[in-house]
Structure 1
Amino acid sequence: MEIIREPTQLKEPRTGKGQQTKAKLLRTALAAFAEDGYQAASMRAIANRAGVSLSHAYYYFHSKEDIVLELLLSLRAEQYALCNGQLDDGNTLEANIHTVFNSNLQVMEKYHDFGPAFLKVLLSRDPENSELAQLEMSLWERAVAGARPLPPLGIRRELPRFLWLLSRQVFSAWAYDSSPDQRRSRALMRNVAPVVGKFAILCRLPVVRSLFEDVLALMDSSGDQNAERGSTATGTSRQANITKAKAS
């Protein structure tokens, strides 16, 4: 039986005032990103705009990437809620993949301008242990466990991971898609679902199942390299930001 993880709760400040301050910083940052652009909106500018000290802002968010992570966590929780009940109705795997992709678009589309920033945050987090990754993975676990007929037993355990890694690649295409209304990446999402559905059925054959394992290994390798590069860059930037805040 598949074990389905419920989405983890977002960490909140201990006091009501702290929650209000954190929420205000998040709203202010999103407004600054929208008006000034992500690159131009510094932590100092966000703090000034929110009417708090820079050190106070860093208490809640160590960097702009942490602000984006908070937004991503909130959006993923919203996506999880949208999918609730839709992935347990005995739909085909293809239909469940469509459901996850469509719900992703529904919650993310108004933040497309932040796509590259989202992608940077995704690549900077530990793909195995981050709260965000676990929340995303739980959606794909439900998509696989709720599919009927069930995917072949030989790939059922690793299929959610395959879909999660694949969805990260599709998300990358969406993040940098400059076509009107992101038509190219939307078409990619529509076309991926039936291909994966057919591929999963063919994995009943040992030779195709072996190919699935090889592709998954390649995707894992690529993901590990991206995460290592992103984590190093983000860690250096975060330490520099904290040092600046203390100096001010």
Structure 2
Amino acid sequence: MAAKSDQTRHRVADVALRMFRDIGFEKATMRAIAAEAGVSVGNAYYYFASKDDLVHELYLQVQGQHADRAAEAVVGFNDLSARLKATMHAGLDVMAPYHRFGADFIATAIRPASPVNPFNAESGSAREASLAIFRAAVDGARPGPPRRLRAELPGLLWLGYMGVTLFWVYDTSEGQRRTRKLVDGAAPLIARGLSLTRIPGVGRILDDAMDLGRTVRG
């Protein structure tokens, strides 16, 4: 029974995510999702209380796909700039099929009580998965960033990537090329900035930035 229940849940989720891609978030109603999945509306709501929960499922799947693609993309790259660039481009590649309903996703995510709000407890597993992606990019860099920064740096990079994602959502250029250019320009700036942290005054500024990052992430 448990296996059958898991299969049904996965089928509803897969149908919903496909419909999000094909017809958009607004048109993919719970009733339409249930009909396409071959279950009753009540059964669909049993597994996912709302479309917000289905967006959370998408969030989890995107993080898993991003992790796999980023792990492949950074192979052969040692310097931090190249690893960050490859990691962020991998994320944009994974999100590309959902660009048409990106604004709907943001509208869902910014609600304080939404399960897909990136700062909520409900999003903890997806948030940690995203942090792990940037942790891998940092840990594999040679030479690595200053040791005192390594624990907090993935969190700052994650916050920065949230900004890149927001820019991507509203980027109407073909293939979101402006976002790609943003990534190409930001990655080397970050790497060069980190190299300056050995200068006492600059290092203190970054310490303050990390403290702020910890405060924001709770």
1:117 is displaced (CA, Å) by 3.9
Aligned-partner Cα distance in 2 for 1:32–1:187: 30
Partner of 1:56: 43
Moved more, 156-165 or 18-27: 18-27
Contact 1:29–1:46 (CA under 8 A) maintained in structure 2:
yes
1:154·1:209 contact (CA, 8 Å) conserved in 2? Answer: no
Shift of 1:212: 1.6
CA shift digits 1:148-188 (9 cap, x unpaired): 11101232221111111111111111122122211221111
Normalized against structure 1, the TM-score is what? Answer: 0.74
Gaps of 5+ in 2: 110-115
Superimposed CA distance per residue, residues 21-65 of structure 1 (whole angstroms, 9 cap, x where no aligned partner): 223212332343345431233223322333322221122112212
Q: Which of 42, 48, 63 does residue 29 from structure 2 map onto?
A: 42
Alignment of 1:31-180 (within 5 A): 31-84=18-71, 87=74, 91-119=78-106, 120-121=108-109, 122-123=116-117, 125-126=119-120, 130-180=124-174
How far is the alpha carbon of 1:214 from its aligned partner? 2.8
| TM-score, L = length of structure 2 | 0.84
Amino acid in the other structure paired with 1:182: Q
Measured in 2, the distance between the counterparts of 1:157 and 1:198 equals 18
Match of 2:112 in 1: none
* Paired letter, 1:179: S
Q: What residue identity is the alignment partner of 2:143? A: P
Shift of 1:89: 5.4
Give structure 1 stretches of 5+ with no counterpart: 1-12, 225-248
CA contact (8 A) 1:87 1:142 kept: no
The within-5 A match list for 1:1-20 is 14-15=2-3, 17-20=4-7
Equivalence for 1:5:
none
Q: CA RMSD in A?
A: 2.6
Q: Between the two proteins, what is the percent identity of the paired residues?
A: 35
Q: C-alpha separation between the residues in 1 aligned to 2:208 and 2:187?
A: 20
Change (3 A) 1:86 1:36: closer
What is the alpha-carbon distance in structure 2 between the residues aligned to residue 85 and residue 36 of structure 1? Answer: 30
Aligned partner letter, 2:159 = L
Q: Is the 8 A contact 1:165 1:220 kept in 2?
A: no
Letter of the aligned partner of 2:38 in structure 1?
Answer: G
C-alpha deviation, 1:211, in angstroms: 1.5
Question: Are the counterparts in 2 of residues 144 and 150 from structure 1 also a CA contact under 8 Å?
Answer: yes
Instruction: Give the aligned length.
Output: 211
Higher relative contact order structure (alpha carbons within 8 Å, sequence separation ≥ 6)? 1
Give, in angstroms, the shift of residue 200 of structure 1: 0.6
Q: Corresponding residue for 1:188?
A: 182
